[in-house]
Amino acid sequence: MNYDNHIKEINDAKNQFQSLCDLDTQLSKWTLTKDDVAEIEDSIMIYPNTIAKSKHTIVVADTGAGKTTIFLMIASYLAKEGLEVSYFDYDTPQDDMKRYALLAAENDFQYISENKTNVDGHLLIPKLLDMVKHVSPDNASNKVFIFDTMRTFTNDIDPKYTTNFLLGIRKLTQYGVTCITLHHNNKRPESDGTDMFAGLNNIKTNCDNLIYLRAKFHEDGSMTVSSETNPPKAKRRSNTKNMSWQIKDRVALPLEEFVPISSISESDKEIVTKIKYLLMKYSELNESNILERIKEEEITSRRNAKRILMNYRDKEFQFRVGSKNAHLYSIKVDLPNGDLCG
């Protein structure tokens, strides 16, 4: 059929009526009903303050900041709660795999490495999707998949593979699976204060919850690790809250109270100190006034000052939103935090 005949057939009144009927019928079939919605589970926290059921949570931390230790502990907790947990570890050296595998066996969750699956990282999600879509909704919603770390499943954060990974995880959560992805910080902070890999803002867009972990190392070899769940740096679609863990001898335990951790980079220390002097002098300033005075005194660029204000708000600077959505900063006063770990 040539183009002119094709257009003539489309414009034929009879065919237009039939197409309209087909369209209305199909749209009716696609429409979510009350019965469909009744089968969708409400978002509940399955690990206090941190993990929501059937959602995708991305956890970002520096190398060595304790994310694997914490999430092996969380895997053990979830397994004891009756969930079927699979920990996909494509990032751990072989000498640690034995200890992790024994820990998993003792705590009734599955520890899975690349050499055992014989599946390349970027092909794992499609393979899981193909299997999950054939199981019952109840079975799928009882499963938790933990991916350690994102770079090993995305060909070192290649944009194409990263997009495919995130879209695949989204489909897994639509089937009811709870997904957790561990991710490394970037080497440099972005202008908005985040530490995500440059050029991959779709990571934040395509997850449900984005959490940052910060670590403070102690002289006895232990460390305190605290989460940051507050937007705009983090992302929150579930009831995530800041919490802390203590890690000693490679064992992580949740703390009852949240411990704020500020890690000021060497390049930021001088500027943070100068902003504090400004706040001591003027008591409280809105963001535009701070930026104006920083420009007058030639302390740093406007872009860098905005990054520092956002990155250290509620850590080095007290922050609140005033009238007309003004961003107000003052000297940080450390008070006991009442957030409990659950």
pLDDT of 131 reads: 97
pLDDT tens readout for residues 100-118: 999 999 999 999 999 999 9
- What CA–CA distances, in Å, run from 117 to 75, 123, 157, 165? 20, 11, 21, 18
pTM above 0.75, yes or no: no
d(CA 308, CA 13): 64
pLDDT for 342 beyond 60: no
pLDDT tens readout for residues 204-259: 889 999 999 988 888 888 999 999 998 878 899 999 999 999 999 999 999 999 99
Report residue 64's pLDDT band, with 50, 70 and 90 as the boundaries.
Answer: confident
pLDDT of 248 reads: 95
pLDDT tens readout for residues 257-287: 999 887 677 788 889 888 988 888 888 999 9
d(CA 99, CA 89): 13
For residue 185, give the nearest of 150, 158, 217 by alpha carbon. Answer: 150
- Buried/exposed 198-220: b ≥16 CB within 10 Å, e otherwise: eebeebbebbbbbbbbbbbeeee
Is the bond preceding 149 in cis, omega lying within 30 degrees of 0? yes
What are the residue ranges of helices labelled H in 133-249?
Answer: 137-141, 159-174, 202-205
